[in-house]
Amino acid sequence: MNTDIYRFKLGDFQCIAVSDGTHTYSPPTFPPPAIFLFANAPRERLEETLREHNLYPRQWAEWVSPYICLAVNTGEHQVLVDTGADGLGPDTGKLLQHLQAGGISPEDIDTVIITHGHPDHIGGNTDSEGRPTFPDARYVMWKDEWDFWTSGQAEAKLDEHVREVLLKFARKNLPPIQGQLELVDLETEIVSGIRALAAPGHTPGHMALAISSRGEQLLCISDVVLHPIHLEQPEWYAAVDFAPEQVVATRRRILTMAVAEEALVLAFHLPFPGLGHVSQKDDTWQWKPISTTG
C-alpha cells in the first residue's frame, strides 16, 4: 500500500490523507512509549492490554507514530488540516512532497486549519525562511489555542520537561502566520461542509472537525486519541495531555458522535491512513480501520 497519500471520496468532496512522515519515540531520549501514552494506566492492566494487542513488549520499547494531515477539495475550497512535524525528526517534513504527488501545490491551498499548536501539527506552517508555507491561505485556529501559545500561558503552565521543545516550535511556526490568521471560538462552519468542533483537553483549544457532503460524515479527530487502545480505555490519558479530565470528557463526546453518525473517522496518529469507524461496546469503544486492500 502507498503510505504517502490515500485518496477517498466523501460525498462530493475529494479527500486525501497525506502523510508527513513518521517518528520513532524510544528511550533513552524519550520515556518508554507505553508509559507516555497511557500515563495513568495501572501497570499490570497495561501490560495485559498490550499483550492482548500483540504489542508487548514492542510498544514498551518504541512507538512509531505517523503524522497524517488531510487535504479536502470541496469544489469551492482547497483545505488542508494540519501541517505536519517538519523539524521533529529525520523522517518528517514530507507534507509538501506528498501533496505534490496528490496534485496539490502550496498556492492551491486557500484554507489551512490547525487543530492545535503541538510541534507535529504546526511544523510545516512556515518554510525555512520563516515565511508562511501556504502564501494564499487563511490559517484557522481555535482562539483559546492561539492565546495559550502566544500570550505567555504556555510558558507558565507547561511541564518543564516538554516546555522548551513545544515553545521552540510554537515560536517558529505561529507568529509568522498572524497576518493570515482567523480565530474561531464557536462551533461554526469554517468553509461550507466543514464545521469546527471544540475538543479541548489534549491542549486548551484543541479542535476537531465535522466534515460532511451529501449526507456522508467524516470526523477529523486529530489527537482526541493517540492510539487505538485509547478507545477501549478512554480514561487512560497520555503524559502530553494538558487537562486529563477534559480529555476523557472530550473523547466520550466525540466517540459517541462518531458512533451515532456512523461517521468515517480520521485520527492523526493512528496507523496510516488513520481512517476507520468506531463501534461501541458498553461504555467503551473500538477502532475498526478501513480496509485499504480493495
- Using the minimum distance from each CB to Zn ion, give the nearer residue, 20 or 223: 223
Output the smallest distance, CB 238 to Zn ion, in A: 10
- Using the minimum distance from each CB to Zn ion, give the nearer residue, 162 or 260: 162
Output the smallest distance, CB 65 to Zn ion, in A: 8
The phi, psi pair for 107, rounded to 5°, reads: -70, -20
**Interaction site with Zn ion (CB under 5 A):** 120, 223
Output the smallest distance, CB 269 to Zn ion, in A: 6
Q: Where are the alpha helices (DSSP H) in the chain?
A: 33-37, 43-52, 58-61, 95-101, 119-122, 143-150, 153-157, 160-173, 229-232, 244-260
- Using the minimum distance from each CB to Zn ion, give the nearer residue, 240 or 259: 240
- Using the minimum distance from each CB to Zn ion, give the nearer residue, 193 or 274: 274
CA atoms within 13 A of residue 34's CA, in its CB half-sphere? 19
Output the smallest distance, CB 268 to Zn ion, in A: 5
Output the smallest distance, CB 214 to Zn ion, in A: 30
CA atoms of 18 and 101, how far apart (whole Å): 10
Dihedral sign, Cα of residue 145, residue 149, residue 152, residue 156: positive
SS3 of 41-85: the string is CCHHHHHHHHHHCCCCCHHHHCEEEEEEEEEEECCCCEEEECCCC
Output the smallest distance, CB 67 to Zn ion, in A: 7
The residue type at 239: A
Output the smallest distance, CB 202 to Zn ion, in A: 8
- Using the minimum distance from each CB to Zn ion, give the nearer residue, 4 or 120: 120
Task: Give the closest residue to 207 by CA, choosing from 293, 86, 134, 117.
Answer: 117
| Cβ contacts of 197 within 8 Å, gap of 6 or more | 187, 207, 208, 209, 210, 219, 254
- Using the minimum distance from each CB to Zn ion, give the nearer residue, 67 or 285: 67
- Using the minimum distance from each CB to Zn ion, give the nearer residue, 4 or 241: 241
